[in-house]
Structure formats: C-alpha cells, structure tokens
Chain A
Amino acid sequence: MAAITYRDALNQALREEMQRDESVFLMGEDIGVWGGSFVVTQGLYKEFGERRVRDTPISEDGFVGAGIGAALAGLRPVVEIMTINFSLLATDQIVNSAAKMRYMFGGNAKVPIVIRMPGGGGHQLGAQHSQSLEVWYANIPGLIVVAPAVPADAKGLLKAAIRDDNPVIFIENEGLYTTKGDVPEEEYLTPLGKADVKRVGRDVSIVTHSRMVLLALQAADELAKEGIEAEVVDLRSLRPLDVATISASVHKTNHAVVLEEGWGSYGITAEVAATIYEVAFDYLDAPLVRISGVEVPMPYNLKMEKACIPNLEQVVTGAKKTLGKAA
C-alpha cells in the first residue's frame, strides 16, 4: 500500500480505465491542455490525446447533454464539471435526460456516464462557489450518487462508476484533493451502494459522507480521550443508501449523530435521520443529533465562513449530547 493524494487516486482511476477500455473518454472545462482546475486529469491529455481528453467550452448544459448522448450511443464518457455549483446549469440534462431515459424508454436505453464534480466550502470562494448540493441529485431516481471521503474509495468508486451501466454522479470535495491515504497497489473496485465503517466504536454512531468523514474521525479521536468510543459510518454512496450498515451500527451503539457539510433542511442528514428513526427507533436511547452547515449563502469573510461549516467542537459536543454527557 502506498499513501497517495485523493487527487492522484482519481487520476490513477481515470488512467487505468482509459487504458483498459477504449470507449472511456473524458470531457470537461480545461481538463486537457490545462490539466484540470483541480489538476485531477493532469498528464492524461498528453498520454491519450485530444480525442479522449476533450476540452469543452464553458457550456455545462451543452457538454453534459452531449456526454449523455455519447453514452446513449454506447461510449463511456467521464464528464468533469468544474464545481458542483456550475452543475446547476446542466441539471435539466442530468435530471430530465440521464436519469429518465432507461425507465422512460422501457429499458431499451442505457446511459453509462459518470459526471464528476467537487462541492464544498472553506476556501473563501463566496456564495456561488461553496455549495454542497449532492442532495439535489440524491433525490433523483435513475441516478447513482457517490461521495468518497478517502483516496482508496475515490479510486475504487470511480473505477466502479465508470464500469457501471447507469448514470453516476460522482461528488468530490475541494477540501479533499490534497488529503492522503493508503491505496492498494493491485487492481480493485469499491462497490457502489455500500457504506463503510471507517472507525469501529461501541458508544455512538457518527453517520456522514465526503469531507465530513475526516472531521468525524477527528472527533472520534477527541472523544476517545474521554473514554467515548465513536463509530464513524462513511456513507460513500448517497443513492442508493446502504441502510443495512447504518442500521447495524445504530443497533450496536444506540446513539447517533448525523453530520453533513451542506444545509440540513431536506438534506442528507434529514434522509439519514428519518431512516434511522424508521429502522432503529427502538434501539435509540436518546434523540439523535443533527449537525449541518449554517443555512445562509456562504459568506466570504474567513471567520464568517468557518462559522458556517461544521467543526470539531460541534461534533464532539453533539456526540456527548446524545449520550447525555453534555458539558
């Protein structure tokens, strides 16, 4: 195992799948000559050429629609949208075309596309560049939505997404690209639709996804100092949701904190909380705690922005609260 960055893990996944399958190609804004805004596609243009690494105009609705068309024709496009904020310009194609075509055409069509996009805040990029909108896509039948937190999952899930015959929305996070983690050297795939227990614990389950998994692990370290063993459940897949893993964890710990970077109202935490109440109500010893981003457009000022994003203290306090150990 070698420790590599989340960015390099994605890059390896793309390279390996492009080498393996001629029908895999990339499209996106400045992914070719430039190497990608977040440098995920660096080196691929040089290695595979412009036929397979296609720079697009700033035209999200158009090039996402074109990617979906290419997938309908049997290719396996991996489309990068520079950030999730810009994906709103392509929601018609994602929601009305990609997600619908298989069912709406009676199973006679398939759309094997992967649409990658990073979300998240924390870089003083202001209200229009700092959103966590994955719930918009997780709400849509016909899509698969994944959001890996660590390099190993980033690589394994991207390879699995590329090989899957369904449209997959692949959510990255701007704050994760430079984080490092061990990645197996041999070929592997991470199954879509399966959560992963990133830390085993007996006292409280912290259920979350993407960058907040790292915060939850930090919180678990802090809690351990006080003798509280937190279990961290990384959802990895938002649609379909792995209810079995969530349920098993809460059945064991009898306490839950649900955490997300984005807005909680009607959010991922809303869905996960409702799920826990449906499948594990009798196992809960106390009401669960929901922690999510403050519900304002993201402010630019650094202190203001930090105040919007869930932090270590909130998670630690939240875990203690559900355990009846509030300070």
Chain B
Amino acid sequence: MALQTKSADSALQQHSRDELLALHRTMLLNRRFEEKVGEMYTRSKIGGFLHLNIGEEGAFVGAIRALQPGDYVFSTYREHGHAITQGVEPRRVMAELFGRVDGTSKGRGGSMHLFDAQKRFMGGYAIVAGSIALAVGVSLACVYRGTDEIVMSLFGDGATNNGTFHESMNLAKVWNLPVVFVCVNNQYGMGTAVDRASAVSEMYRKAAGYDIPAERVDGMDVIATLDAARKAADFVRQEKTPYFLEALTYRYRGHSMADPQNYRTKEEIEEWRHRDAIESFRKRLRDAALASEQDFAEHEAEVERVVQEAVDFADASREPDPATELLDNAYVGDIPVSWR
C-alpha cells in the first residue's frame, strides 16, 4: 500500500483532473444507485435476493476503470456497480432489478444476472466461482483470434476456496491467457470471516501456487487500486499471461437484504466506514486543491438525476407477459422446450 502524505500526494498527481473527477463521479453514482436500490427493495419494487456493494466502490471502480474499450468483464451476484462501471446504462440495470422488459436481460435475469454483450459486461453469475472459468474461456477466445483484448474476472474472497477458482487459475497460467483475476476481498463469505474459511487469509498468496504474479492493494483507495489494476492490465495485455490482484475492502450492508449481522461488530463496520473510499478520496482531492465542495455538490446533483431517471425508466417499462413471452429465448431457433 502506498504511503500518502498531505503535502505531496504523488499518486494523485499522476492522474489528470478529469480522470480524478470521473473516478469520484463513478463511485458516487454507484453508491447512490445502490442506496436507491435498497430503498426500492424495501418498497417491494425488487424481488428475490439483493446483494448491495456499498463500501466496495474504491475496489471495483478502480479495477474496472483500468480496462480499455473492448476488454471483457465477468462478475458475480454482487454486480450492479460492476456493470455500471463497465458502461452498462444505470436505467437498464434498474429495469432489470424491477423485472421489466427494458432490463439488460429483459426481466428474466434479475439482480444477479445482468448482461450486456455490447458493453462487454459478460454477466453476473450466482454460483460462487462459476464465472471465473467462463472468463478464462473468453480470454482463450481472445488468444485464439489473436486480438489485444483482455478479460477481467471479478470475484469475492469466498470464491478462492472453491475448486473452480483453482482450476481456472491453473488453466489461465498453463495456457498463458490474458486474464486479470480481481479478488474483491470484503473479508466475509456471507457471514464467515476469511480467516475462518481460508487456510491463507491473504488471497493474493494463493496465486503463487500457479506461478501467477500477484499483489494486494488497499481497495478503499481508488487511486491505488486503479494504478495497480492498470499495471496488471498492461502486463496481461503485453505478456499474454494472467495476473492476480486482491483489493482489500469492506461491504457496509449485509451479505444480502436478509442478514442477521451477528457475525461482526458495529465497531468494526464503523472502523471501515471511517476509511470510506469516497470520503477519503474527496479529502485527498480537496487537500490537493483538485476539487472543491462545489464539484462534489455538482456530482451529487448529477448522480441523483441519473438515479431518479433510472427509477422512472424502470417504472415505465412493462413486465414481460407470461401468456405470450414465457418460452422466448429458451433456445436459439425453433427447438421446442417440450412437446407438451
């Protein structure tokens, strides 16, 4: 983790003001979007499971913004912000959460199954570690076609205890595939703390078993995460071989909306809130005289408008019709789902 001093925030100075403001805006958009999503859930606009990523913005915004156009992102079931950061329209995300036809998956996927191939957001998946193997497959396709594109596979700390994670890491290395593995380590697999579930509590050390270069970064520091992810992406693109990045972070809300919160203390949550990625970033921008309260207020207003528009759009979109649309897209072509 980079040391920072108030007088010379050299990490910050290496980025353009536009880029810094864009990072702030994206983190803020994701924060406010998720807050609104939580509200919509309590108002029963959204059903099923809902996994908010409030608190993790520094980690996933820093990671995904290191990618270039054409690069692919694979995600998990805590993926609303991953999709939005990769360029998926917030209103189409919200419409999906509402189960409407203008959602990214036409209301058939829901919170855990966003998808937008045009933006190369290759999906949210709800089997822990399952999407890592798929990401390896897309990176294989990149090599097969001889393109310069790379793949970023985001997953949680819990996924690293799963066989699919290990098989995928091995394949990526033995075949030298351009994939950046990003472990968003929020320190709990549902309610089980990392050190109660994993023999190795630093996730990045697991990459050593596959000879994959790896590092851990402070995921509450969006600049440190962006810089590390950019280094990782450049390495992967040039060397055509995988890299493993662990971003240490924290989710403030429960695993899902149904969470007893009996596995961690209020003090621990407060401690991490104190290191909030957005607040700490604002302080650095102010201290470096790169942004003012007025900039932040403008971002708040802009983000609020986008989020409200997303809700209005989702509300206006119709629900799919079970009488006429239930069997749509079961197969490509005219394969019957059943003779009955």
Interface of A toward B, CB cutoff 8 Å: 25, 51, 54, 56-57, 59, 61-75, 92-93, 96-97, 101-110, 141-142, 144, 164-166, 192-193, 240-241, 243, 275, 278
Contacts and interface: CB of A to CB of B under 8 A. Distances in A.
A51 B144 contact: yes
Contacts of A56: 171
Contact of A57 (B116, B130, B170): B170
B329 A59 contact: no
B138 A72 contact: yes
Closest 3 CB pairs of A and B: A69-B137, A65-B133, A62-B167
A108 B101 CA distance: 12
A96 B168 CA distance: 17
B331 interface: yes
B337 interface: yes
Nearest to A74: B141
B154 to A, nearest CB: 15
A243 B339 contact: yes
A163 to B, nearest CB: 11
Contacts of A108: 104-106, 115-117
Contact of A106 (B107, B136, B331): B107
B108 A70 contact: no
B332 A102 contact: yes
B14 to A, nearest CB: 34
Contact of A192 (B117, B329, B335): B335
Given A62-B133, A141-B330, A192-B335, 10 more contacts: A63-B171, A67-B137, A69-B134, A71-B137, A101-B123, A102-B329, A106-B109, A107-B106, A240-B338, A241-B339
A67 B340 CA distance: 32
B163 interface: yes
30 contacts: A51-B144, A59-B170, A61-B133, A63-B167, A65-B130, A66-B137, A66-B140, A68-B137, A69-B140, A70-B137, A72-B137, A73-B137, A92-B130, A93-B133, A97-B127, A97-B134, A102-B331, A104-B109, A105-B108, A105-B113, A106-B106, A106-B109, A107-B329, A108-B104, A108-B117, A164-B332, A165-B332, A166-B335, A240-B335, A240-B338
Contacts of A62: 133, 136, 164, 167-168, 170-171
B105 A96 contact: no
A63 B140 CA distance: 11
Contacts of B332: 102, 110, 164-166
A65 to B, nearest CB: 2
B260 interface: no
A241 B335 CA distance: 10
B137 A25 contact: no
Given A92-B164, A105-B109, A164 B333 contact: yes
B125 interface: yes
Interface of B: 72, 103-109, 113, 115-117, 122-123, 125, 127, 130, 132-142, 144, 163-164, 167-168, 170-171, 174-175, 328-333, 335-340
A61 B164 contact: yes
Nearest to B137: A69
Contacts of B144: 25, 51, 70, 75
Residue among B122, B127, B130, B339 with max Cβ neighbours from chain A (10 Å): B339
A70 B138 contact: yes
Given A66-B171, A142-B331, A240-B339, A97 B125 contact: yes
Contacts of A192: 335
Contact of B136 (A69, A104, A166): A69
B254 to A, nearest CB: 24
Contacts of A64: 133
A106 B133 contact: no
A108 B123 CA distance: 11
A319 B174 CA distance: 54
Contacts of B107: 106
A259 B117 CA distance: 44
A65 B164 contact: yes
Contacts of A75: 141, 144
A24 to B, nearest CB: 11
Contacts of B331: 102, 142, 144, 166
A105 B72 CA distance: 16
Contacts of B141: 69-70, 73-75
A137 B13 CA distance: 56
Contacts of B175: 54
A51 B144 CA distance: 7
A243 B336 CA distance: 11
A74 B144 CA distance: 11
Contact of B137 (A65, A105, A106): A65
B108 A104 contact: yes
B136 A105 contact: no
Contacts of A275: 339
Q: Counting chain B CB atoms within 10 Å of each CB, which of A64, A103, A193 scores highest?
A: A103
Given A109-B115, A142-B331, A61 B339 contact: no
Contact of B140 (A70, A97, A164, A165): A70
B133 A69 contact: yes
Nearest to B174: A57
A275 B109 CA distance: 31
Contact of A69 (B116, B135, B170, B335): B135
B332 to A, nearest CB: 4
Nearest to A101: B123
B166 to A, nearest CB: 8
Nearest to B114: A105
A59 B339 contact: no
